Amino acid sequence: MVAQPPQSNTGKVLGIVGAVVGVLVLGGVASAVVLGGGGSGGGSKQSAGPKYKITVPQSLVGGKYSLAKDISSMADGQVPHDGVNAHGMRSAGGQYTGGTTSLVMMGIYGTIDDPQEGVNHMIHGLTSSPDVDVVVSDKKFTPSGGGDPLSCGVEVKSTAGQKITLPFCVWGTSSTTVSVAETDAADLGKDPRSIDLQALADDASKIRAEVQVPAGG
């Protein structure tokens, strides 16, 4: 059982947790660029679909989350711009808070040969760390309001003797690969199997609409 942090420490806990989530998400983004080969079969090629870029709004999900830190520059300096499956990539992302919840949105945009391969490698980067256990394997969720499906799952990160439950969702197009991951500082050890991934997918779908804009816009 994980004790709820004192109210006075919530801000500090949010900062620490946000940094932990950010490191994992950044690793996923780097993997999405670097890894390639094998293919996922039937993936869309680079000429298909509209071109998008990723932005970092001041708030997400209609104000549910507020931007705490724009981490685009930091990510862009650490994530390769070219790889086997992704070319001319740029990175954009932010750490957001809403109450005791910390959410990190991180994505890349440019030219992606196979969107599903990009999603697969992003998830691999998120979940392959030796101190991460995948408790709920990723699967496809269609947003309740309609729209393209997202791949969502739950992992548990062990750090400094603390287990942190991290649900995540990932989506990809021929020009973007993006992940969102969140955790609640008031309940870091929440039962991973109790996470409502459909609700997270619904929020992630709204985030997709808020951060993903036409490349020429």
The answer to whether 151 and 119 are in contact (CB under 8 A) is: yes
Q: What is the mean pLDDT of residues 58-65?
A: 97
Q: What is the pTM of this model?
A: 0.85
Residues contacting residue 40 through CB under 8 Å, at least 6 positions apart: 114, 116, 117, 120
Q: Show the tokens assigned to 53.
A: 């870029």
DSSP state at residue 27: H
Q: What is the mean pLDDT of residues 87-115?
A: 92
d(CA 55, CA 49): 19
The answer to whether 127 and 27 are in contact (CB under 8 A) is: no
Give 68's pLDDT tier (boundaries 50, 70, 90).
very high
Map out the domains of the chain as residue ranges. Answer: 7-36+65-211
Query: Which H or E run contains 104?
Result: strand 101-112
The answer to whether 69 and 19 are in contact (CB under 8 A) is: no
d(CA 83, CA 35): 7
d(CA 9, CA 22): 20
The answer to whether 86 and 112 are in contact (CB under 8 A) is: yes
Check residue 46 and give its pLDDT.
47
Give 189's pLDDT tier (boundaries 50, 70, 90).
confident
7-36+65-211 fold: Protein Transport Mog1p; Chain A (3.40.1000)
Check residue 185 and give its pLDDT.
84
Check residue 81 and give its pLDDT.
86
Q: Which residues pair with residue 139 across a beta bridge?
A: 152
